[in-house]
A and B are shown apart, each in its own frame.
Chain A
């Protein structure tokens, strides 16, 4: 999102965030009044109480996530919008309609006000795009060297869609596995700007809010959607392994069906990474009843962020707990969970 020009930064008498901004005193107030509250204003946040008080009824979903990404600005986004989209998407995967978010900053002293402002503006626009509100939050500042520029935690709450029945136990043999878009773009966008590794590319992070897309699909297909997951850290391979393990079913996937944009595939090849293990931020996996798979795919392709969706595999009765991939050339192999970080090969 291009956002820099739309919200001019307020005139403040400080250029960087200092320990004082987390003290709770005048500096904290100045930062909040002229920054956070002003930008993110809504009825609940404007109460400025210790927490948000609101009515809720029915089945709710609640999720939290912390964002420690480095670098904080990356091709296609920044830590702010990532923090909003991430929690919005986690709630969506529960079949919920995200409504309210909390927002906490842990800032390392020395972060420039300009950077902080840009992050805040991104948060504002990400909230508007997803249709959610920040209703409570917190700001802490730690000494130089005790953090890494800025960490953000968001928690979110939302009502579960009346037709949603998302649960691992609902998996059935024959169910189809659908991926909503090209995989591995977020991870490779970050890799391309990692210190010591910079390579020229036009790969942009796929960070986006998936809630509107998920809502439309739930409206249309309801309980025929058995499971939704977003393959963030650890990528598609890790999530599918978790699903196979927890559901005690087997999973088959087909390499040639898995959508990866060419530039991402080339970059992965060059760095010795497997796109199946690379992080995504704007992609989800849906496991759906076999007989609706084609119409589900057809609908998804017309929705936001779904045009590259594909059916990549199915749930099977054999090899319980394991994910098996049929390679492009027809060979088969087990796709395991990674032990640690995916490390580059050396020759």
Chain B
């Protein structure tokens, strides 16, 4: 398959692994930021092919996992109490709120729809002029342009019944928070390829400079990941700290200016609560004041009480890379994909679910022994 099989070529994989084994002389801890990278590492069984000295730590880059409990409760409330058509990406609907998930709300009769694109939600709003349509706009910088575009379209069409429940989070502030966390001890990063596709590289140079950590913008296929890890290890071994771009076939230094412009048109920077981590200053986007009518947060009065997280769930420690999923006392016991205690067990990109579904055979056996 063009553009896929090339990046999954077993012979190339072997070459990269051989080189990686050759250059690795001491233990290194590398965090892959994006949940998509975690998923690919585990799904392709890459983790147990790596040199034992390399420890991959799974980062907070799963938008579903870091969406606060309170916001899920809000979405459920809108669907159940306000009678809106609540549209969401698929992963989001199984994430447990404090009382229930959107999937359970749907089973109870709420109108919850799974969509692949926010523009479909705009179409729904056009087709259902008597109903309010709310799109649960979750994600990192990657999904923001499409979510913003839906607002631009809705405004252009003069729709009065479309709004988004935005929970956008940004990668660089989260990386900063991890680097400032003494417990985390991450020595280098694989930066998220698709986030950089939108935003470009500029905002990562200061991070590399300030914290003196190697950072390699990396893709998602086996060859991408191995090449990214190799580039990172080479820097670590040489004592360098640079920003490099492994994913240059997709990521340009300036990113995607048209997408950035659309984002800016609709969103402004705001403080954001990260589920399991806490509030990080200037780490998210919310809808601009002049577009308040498209902001479900401002459009609807929601009376719900903020509920604390389940105390048994160590999602925060997992998301910051301090603990591995299987180091949680509830992993696979009280917490499993059928009855998740925290979001990382739900989303296909959540570290806990990735370990539960595809668990890296060697690593788990080592942990069990």
Interface residues of A (CB under 8 A from B): 196-197, 256, 262, 265-266, 269, 271-272, 324-336, 339-340, 343-347
Q: Known A333-B45, A333-B360; judge A344-B91 contact (CB<8 A).
A: yes
- The answer to whether B358 touches A346, judged by C-beta atoms less than 8 angstroms apart, is no
The answer to the question of B153 belonging to the interface, with a C-beta cut-off of 8 Å to chain A, is no
- A330 vs B18: C-alpha distance in the bound complex, in angstroms? 14
- A69 vs B91: C-alpha distance in the bound complex, in angstroms? 23
Known: A329-B44, A345-B349. 13 other contacts (CB 8 A): A266-B1, A329-B8, A329-B46, A330-B45, A331-B44, A331-B47, A333-B44, A334-B358, A335-B358, A343-B90, A346-B92, A346-B138, A347-B139
Produce 1/0 per residue, B20-60, CB < 8 A to A.
00000000000000011001001111111100000000000
Q: Known A196-B116, A324-B361, A333-B361; judge A346-B13 contact (CB<8 A).
A: no
- A340 vs B103: C-alpha distance in the bound complex, in angstroms? 11
Nearest Cβ on chain A to B71's Cβ, whole angstroms:
15
The 9 closest A-B pairs by CB, nearest first: A331-B45, A343-B90, A346-B89, A329-B13, A339-B337, A333-B358, A344-B90, A347-B142, A333-B45
- The answer to whether A343 touches B49, judged by C-beta atoms less than 8 angstroms apart, is no
- The answer to whether A331 touches B89, judged by C-beta atoms less than 8 angstroms apart, is no
Other-chain residue from A269, A329, A332, A346 in contact with B361 (beta carbon distance below 8 A): A332
- The closest CB in chain B to the CB of A329 belongs to B13
Most buried by B among A196, A265, A271, A336: A196
- A170 vs B44: C-alpha distance in the bound complex, in angstroms? 32
Nearest Cβ on chain A to B49's Cβ, whole angstroms:
5
- A116 vs B74: C-alpha distance in the bound complex, in angstroms? 43
- The answer to whether B357 touches A334, judged by C-beta atoms less than 8 angstroms apart, is yes
Q: Known A269-B4, A345-B349; judge A334-B359 contact (CB<8 A).
A: yes
Residues of B within 8 A of A346 (CB): 63-64, 89-92, 138-139, 143, 347, 349
Nearest Cβ on chain B to A195's Cβ, whole angstroms:
9
Nearest Cβ on chain B to A333's Cβ, whole angstroms:
4
Produce 1/0 per residue, B192-216, CB < 8 A to A.
0010000000000000000000000
Produce 1/0 per residue, B105-144, CB < 8 A to A.
0000000011110001000000000000000001110110
The answer to the question of B324 belonging to the interface, with a C-beta cut-off of 8 Å to chain A, is no
Q: Known A328-B8, A330-B49; judge A196-B358 contact (CB<8 A).
A: no
- A325 vs B139: C-alpha distance in the bound complex, in angstroms? 31
Other-chain residue from B114, B357, B361, B362 in contact with A343 (beta carbon distance below 8 A): B114
- A269 vs B138: C-alpha distance in the bound complex, in angstroms? 21
Most buried by B among A266, A324, A344: A344
Most buried by B among A262, A332, A335, A339: A339
- A336 vs B42: C-alpha distance in the bound complex, in angstroms? 13
Residues of B within 8 A of A265 (CB): 1, 4
- The closest CB in chain A to the CB of B8 belongs to A328
- The answer to whether B356 touches A336, judged by C-beta atoms less than 8 angstroms apart, is yes
- The answer to whether B94 touches A340, judged by C-beta atoms less than 8 angstroms apart, is yes
Residues of A within 8 A of B10 (CB): 256, 328-330
Nearest Cβ on chain B to A98's Cβ, whole angstroms:
36
Nearest Cβ on chain A to B50's Cβ, whole angstroms:
10
- The closest CB in chain B to the CB of A335 belongs to B358
